[in-house]
Amino acid sequence: MSIFTGTASTFDLKGIREDLTNVIWNVSPMDTPFTTRAQRAKATSTKHEWQTDALASASTSNAQIQGDDIASTTAVVATTRLGNNTQISRKTVTIAGTIEAVIKAGRGSGLSYQIAKLGKELRRDIEAILTGANQATVVASSGTAPKTADALSWIKTNTDKDAGGSDPSAADGTGTRTDSSTTRSFTQTQLFGVLKGIFTNSGDAPEMVMLPPAMKQTASTFTGNNTRMADTQDKRLVSAIDYLVYDFGTVQMVPNRFMRSRDVLVINTDLWAVAWLRPMRVEELAKTGDATKKMIIAEYALESRNEKGSGGVFDLA
């Protein structure tokens, strides 16, 4: 076929308006299970401190003579004082005045759009820092940024690791995990061992197993004592495990995109808190030209109220 001579077409016409959808699609994940579910606390200094305590081991030899006089009393054991330094995290944006003046697709104010976007990015940063930085606490000094010890630097008692890996030297945030140079497959035996340790060493049961995506898929292959069923009525095959019922309780299997791919953390959220010295907020920076500057900033510390109530499986492939 051919076009009739003189027929106007879009190939030659000038002034056609662009067809730009008035929506900006952003599919980046925003779920932050650790910081969302952990308790919220208030910090009043750059060194945030708290205390922990524990009961003495149960005794099978506690038998006394009738009428016996008390020659000595049970020794008083002092509480343990722990602390963590606050860490400052921020995002900044500078928007030229012209950007605010022009008509934009998908947003009214370029500044407001960027602030909302950077706020989400900052939340993701904090989640990654608290669950997977593997960093010890760092005291601020001239030229040195303070750091808060993350969850990996506290968990020591209830762990399952490869032969080449090791736990922090003390459960006080001053050390880090040593990763094994080799990794292994994630198994339900490893997880059940950690859950048993938490039950033995803690009076509180964890309610969440936090897994990176690949480990969540592996966990969904755990067999336990159940037979997987296919629902023939609505043609669904159930192949995921979202809750794990074990001998001492039930835990929710929660995927986390921002933790390290080699770790699985068993978390009692009542025993973790994010202590905010400066909750996330927007601050206006000095105007130095034809642009507006904003900063989103937060200062916080991770509070590990008693690491014996949590645990982890480490050095996973």
In angstroms, rounded to a whole number, what is the distance separating the alpha carbons of residues 176 and 169? 8
Instruction: Give rounded-to-5 percent helix, strand, coil for the chain.
Output: 20, 30, 50
The tens digit of pLDDT for each residue in 140-194 reads 999 999 999 999 999 999 999 999 999 999 999 999 999 999 999 999 999 999 9
Q: What is the pLDDT of residue 106?
A: 74
Of 101-105, 264-268, 313-317, least confident by mean pLDDT is: 101-105
Of 21-25, 53-57, 212-216, least confident by mean pLDDT is: 21-25
Neighbours of 172 (CB within 10 A): 20
Q: 225 or 104, which is more confident?
A: 104
> Quick check: 209 pLDDT over 60?
yes
Q: What percent of the chain has pLDDT over 90?
A: 63
| Arithmetic mean of pLDDT over the chain | 89
pTM for the predicted model, two decimal places: 0.87
Q: 104 or 267, which is more confident?
A: 267
In angstroms, rounded to a whole number, what is the distance separating the alpha carbons of residues 284 and 224? 55
pLDDT class for 299, splitting at 50, 70, 90? very high
Q: 220 or 30, which is more confident?
A: 220
The tens digit of pLDDT for each residue in 40-82 reads 999 999 999 999 888 888 889 999 889 888 888 888 889 999 9
**Average pLDDT over every residue of 239-244:** 84
Q: What is the pLDDT of residue 31?
A: 87
The domain locations on the chain are: 33-52+81-173+183-226+237-313
Give the residue from 39, 104, 117 showing the smallest Cα distance to 294.
117
The tens digit of pLDDT for each residue in 249-262 reads 999 999 999 999 99
For residue 25, the 8-state DSSP code is -
For residue 41, the 8-state DSSP code is E
Q: What is the pLDDT of residue 225?
A: 59
In angstroms, rounded to a whole number, what is the distance separating the alpha carbons of residues 256 and 316? 15
Strand order in the sheet with 249-255: 159-160, 311-313, 264-267, 208-211, 249-255, 243-246
> Quick check: 17 pLDDT over 70?
no
